[in-house]
Structure 1
Amino acid sequence: MSDDASELERLPSTELHERAVALARHRWDIRFFWRLLEAIPAAEAAAGNLDASDASIAQASGLVQEALSAEDDPGVQEALRPLYIDYLTRHGEEGTPGGTERGEGEGA
């Protein structure tokens, strides 16, 4: 694990969520949001929210809103940590761990 990822591992899940979503918004990174939408049902199940894990494509608009806003359930945030850390490590933010901008085709 790189030093950048190690630094990110120490952050709370809510901070990881905020950083990853803010960076993806800034980059207009639909691919990240799609990955997040795909991961939410499994994260809901991992957090014990089995009813919520049955999300369907008809609920996509609600899931998009969920992905863009800070999730209130700490269990869901914990389950999504690897997604946030991976994204921030690969694409970074200026002045934060992983601070070099790399394109999808460059080591992504």
Structure 2
Amino acid sequence: MTDATLAQLDALPTDELRDRAFALARQRRDIKFFWDLFTHVTHSDDNTQDGWIGSLDASIDDAVALWREVTGHHYGDAEPLVRAAFIDYIMQHGK
């Protein structure tokens, strides 16, 4: 989406925002984006903090697969934050 406005992006479903943000982050090889999402979504879930997230050797595709496994696409109370992160990323780095 070229020159997307905040209103246009906010009207999209979370899954569409996720797909667009993830594709862009994979293209840019932006592991920091994924790391920030992991830490915000998993910070309250002690079951996900067993050391796997600390490996900096993981590839972007591994990070995406791990995100899907951890979240199951259910964001719970973190969904507004996650949507905002997706929208912000797309607006900052989209073409």
Unaligned runs of 5+ residues in structure 1 are 46-52, 93-98, 100-108
Unaligned runs of 5+ residues in structure 2 are 56-61
Distance between the aligned counterparts of 2:13 and 2:77, measured in 1?
A: 12
Which of residues 87, 90, 93 is equivalent to 2:89? Answer: 87
Mean alpha-carbon deviation: is it higher for 23-32 or for 64-73? 64-73
Identity rate of aligned residues, in percent? 35
- With normalisation by structure 2, the TM-score equals 0.66
- With normalisation by structure 1, the TM-score equals 0.59
Q: 1:71 to 1:21 in 2, by over 3 A?
A: farther
Q: Deviations over 1:40-99 (max 9, x none)?
A: 225xx5xxxxxxx223251317x933326784325377241011011001111xxxxxx3
Alignment of 1:1-108 (within 5 A): 4-42=5-43, 53-54=45-46, 55-56=48-49, 58-60=51-53, 64=63, 65-67=65-67, 71-73=72-74, 75=76, 78-79=79-80, 80-92=82-94, 99=95
Distance between the aligned counterparts of 2:72 and 2:21, measured in 1?
A: 13
Distance between the aligned counterparts of 1:89 and 1:15, measured in 2?
A: 14
Paired positions, count: 81
What secondary structure does 2:67 align onto?
A: helix
Aligned match of 1:106: none
Higher helix proportion? 2
CA RMSD of aligned residues (A): 2.8
Q: 1:91 to 1:20 in 2, by over 3 A?
A: same
